A and B are shown apart, each in its own frame.
Chain A
Amino acid sequence: MSSELLKQVMSTAAALFLLTSFAMLAQRHMKALLRWLAIQGGLLAVTSALVAFGAEFPELYVSAILALILKGILIPWVLWKIIIHLGVHREVEPLVNIFATLLIGAGLVLFSFYVSLPIAEQSVLLTSNIIAIGLACVLISMLIMITRSKAITMVVGYLAMENALFFMAVSATYGIPLVVEIGVAFDVLIAGLIFSLFFFQIRKTFDSLNLKDMEIKQ
């Protein structure tokens, strides 16, 4: 694969990644939110595989498979089961109007582009301009966590942030060492399981997963 083609494929993957972030930001339904999370995980796997192929980094194939199994299938599936079990698979209630959130998201993209300009100038890698997109996705995931009022949506935002960081690592530095990556991947899985335990505990204590009900009444 020529470097020019690799660059274009990576750009497209980055753009699609950004799109999935925005789709999660715009989503009202729990089911669709999780579906976009799964798509994002799948996209991550595809991107890793492409970089592995283009830059001849065979280790990245392993992380691609890990990403596909954990982030594309397992974690969304576990979350979906929990949601069904808890009976909270209804509409997500955003704290801010969705269109306003989307505009803030566009602003964040602009901001991260501005911030990462000097980094992109220093970098010698083909995929240097993807740093801005990765940073934007991290910020958008934080926005998802901030603007939603349910614990589950916040966890989805957290997982999206992890995806974005992984994406940035793969595209900006051709991935992190495999040992670290496997460790992180299993950490995330364990985190997902702990979160699910937390969900049950939160519900047992507060009778709801809504943040408003968790505040201490003065």
Chain B
Amino acid sequence: MNLWICNILESIFLIGLAPLGGMALKKMKARLQNRRGPGFFQSYRDIAKLFSKEPILPNQASWIFRLAPYVIFIVTALAVLIVPVVLIPLPLSAAADVITLVGLLSIARFFTALGAMDTGTAFGGMGSSREMTLSALAEPAMLMGVFVLSMAAQSTDLSTMVAVMLKGNLGLQPSLVFALAAMLIVATAETGRIPVDNPATHLELTMVHEAMILEYSGRYLALIEWANQIKLLLFATLIINLFFPWGIAIEVSGASLLVGVMAWILKLLTLFGLLALMETTMAKMRIFRVPEVLGLAFLLAILGMLTHYILEVSV
């Protein structure tokens, strides 16, 4: 029972913090570019404003267009529930492992694409076609990257994987380096960050995610934006906890939870700092280059598996 309360509180904590996290990243980027950037609570104000506005629906929009934002938000929030954030044991870990997580995220993506195509505009169709092309390449790479860890931990259950990684008797494992590189590439593609997609543009012919949500307004847009911020934080948490799990709480107790939260925030800020640095120094890739990069991520994951077998499992 305690575990359930903790898990739900943890999820609410992450979902509530998601806009702030996105804004922290924006702020870091602004600082690096010699700008002041918006205030830390601007994204909360944006969401509140969008919720109070009347949503405008395109003429041809069907019920799918209206349903999609709710599905996207709920599914993303559910995904938060099955990822350990500051506490390793999860009440849902027996029911939902990392494959479920990938599945949930792909449901969200599927509905984003459906909602975009529903109105029949050129931008929506173009955006969803691109998104689906990229995700067809990103998803296997992500699964493979996670499987490298699963092989080391001999489980696909996220809590077990994090616990094994935390114990750290695995030593120095080169396969994990490959898996980390693959996961970093996939995470930038999946969350639509700069080398793959530019989150800050609205009117650019190469946009992917923004093209899909161009028709949304009011509370629908608020939900999608919020879900997107949650997704960014979710991927960051996943990478942090799988590869650098130091400090995460092992059992429910006040002190260890506090340490867990502090460590999580610290690691998250470090990761966001690196991401901001990367986004500032790199230019957006040509869209036809992206499949190549995602192919590289897939290959890195395969190499991780191979090196795991060749170098780490004693013959």
Contact A15-B292, Cβ < 8 Å, known A9-B172, A103-B299: no
- Asked, given contacts A26-B296, A133-B310, whether A18 binds B303 with beta carbons under 8 Å apart, the answer is yes
Contact A12 B315, CB 8 Å, known A19-B303, A113-B309, A132-B310: no
Contact between A109 and B306, CB atoms less than 8 A apart: yes
Q: Is the CB of B177 within 8 A of A15?
A: yes
**Bound-state Cα–Cα, A11 to B292, Å:** 28
Residue B302 at the A interface, CB < 8 A? yes
* A106 engages B303 (CB within 8 Å): yes
Sorting the interface of chain A by its residue count into under 10, 10 to 19, 20 to 34 or 35 or more gives 20 to 34
B218 → A minimal CB distance (Å)? 42
Partner of A22, one of B292, B299, B311: B299
CB distance B296 to A102 under 8 Å? yes
A197 interface hit (Cβ, 8 Å): no
Q: Which residues on the B side are within 8 Å of A15 (C-beta)? A: 174-175, 177-178, 303, 307, 311
Q: Is B310 in contact with A102, judged by CB distance below 8 angstroms?
A: no
Q: Considering the complex, which residues of chain B in the window 262-315 have a beta carbon less than 8 Å from any beta carbon of chain A?
A: 291-292, 295-296, 299, 302-303, 306-307, 309-312, 314-315
Shortest A96–chain B CB gap in Å is 13
Q: A14 interface residue, CB < 8 Å from B?
A: yes
Q: Is the CB of A11 within 8 A of B299?
A: no
**Interface: B171 (CB within 8 A):** yes
The closest CB in chain B to the CB of A131 belongs to B310
In the complex the two chains form, is B299's CB within 8 Å of A133's CB?
no
**Nearest residue in B to A103 (C-beta to C-beta)?**
B299
How distant is the Cα of A164 from the Cα of B90 in the complex, in angstroms?
Answer: 46
Distance from A40 Cβ to chain B, minimum over Cβ atoms (Å): 16
With a cutoff of 8 Å between Cβ atoms, the chain A residues found around residue B295 in the complex are 99, 102
Once the chains bind, are A113 and B174 in contact (CB under 8 Å)? no
CB distance from A202 to the nearest CB of B (A): 30
Query: In the bound complex, how far is the Cα of B153 from the Cα of A137, in angstroms?
Result: 28
Alpha-carbon gap, A16 to B307, bound state (A): 10
Size category, B interface: 20 to 34
Contacts of B307 in A (CB 8 A): 11, 14-15, 18, 133
In the complex where A99-B292, A99-B295, A133-B311 touch, is A11 in contact with B174 (Cβ < 8 A)? Answer: yes
Residue in contact with B310 in the complex, picked from A98, A99, A105, A113, CB distance below 8 Å: A113
- The interface residues of chain B lying within 8 Å CB-to-CB of A129 are 310-311, 314-315
Chain A residue numbers with a CB within 8 Å of B299 are: 22, 102-103, 105-106
- Find the B residue at minimum CB distance from A25: B299
What chain A residues lie within 8 Å of B306 (beta carbons)?
106, 109-110, 113
Q: Please, what's the 1-or-0 string for A1-43, where 1 marks a CB less than 8 Å from any CB in chain B? A: 0001000110110111011001000100000000000000000
Contact residues in A for B177 (Cβ distance below 8 Å): 12, 15-16
A14 contacts which chain B residues (CB < 8 A)? 174, 307, 311
A215 proximal to B (CB < 8 A): no
Q: State in angstroms the CA–CA spacing of A4 and B172 once bound together.
A: 10
Say whether A213 faces chain B, with CB atoms less than 8 Å apart. no
Q: Does A130 contact B (CB under 8 A)?
A: yes
- Interface residue from B173, B303, B311 paired with A130 (Cβ < 8 Å): B311
Per the bound structure, the CA–CA distance linking A133 and B171 in Å amounts to 20
The docked-state distance in angstroms from the alpha carbon of A16 to that of B178 is 9
Taken together as a complex, chains A and B put the C-alpha atoms of A14 and B175 apart, in Å, by: 11
- Closest-CB distance, B243 to chain A (whole angstroms): 15
Residues of A129-181 whose CB lies within 8 A of B: 129-130, 132-133
Give A117 to B292 CA distance when docked, in angstroms. 32
The docked-state distance in angstroms from the alpha carbon of A44 to that of B62 is 62
If A102-B296, A113-B309, A113-B310 touch, whether A11 touches B172 (CB-CB below 8 Å) is yes
Do B171 and A8 touch across chains, with their CB atoms under 8 A apart?
yes
Please determine whether A12 and B296 come into contact, CB atoms closer than 8 angstroms.
no
Q: Could you tell me which A residues sit within 8 Å of B by CB distance?
A: 4, 8-9, 11-12, 14-16, 18-19, 22, 26, 98-99, 102-103, 105-106, 109-110, 113, 117, 120-121, 129-130, 132-133
Name B's A-contacting residues (CB within 8 A). 171-175, 177-178, 291-292, 295-296, 299, 302-303, 306-307, 309-312, 314-315
4 pairs of A and B residues whose beta carbons are closest in the complex: A15-B174, A8-B172, A11-B311, A99-B295
Contacts A/B (CB < 8 Å), 11 sampled: A4-B171, A14-B174, A14-B307, A14-B311, A99-B291, A99-B295, A103-B299, A121-B315, A129-B315, A133-B307, A133-B311
5 further A-B contacts with Cβ under 8 Å, apart from A15-B303, A102-B295, are A11-B172, A11-B312, A109-B303, A130-B311, A132-B310
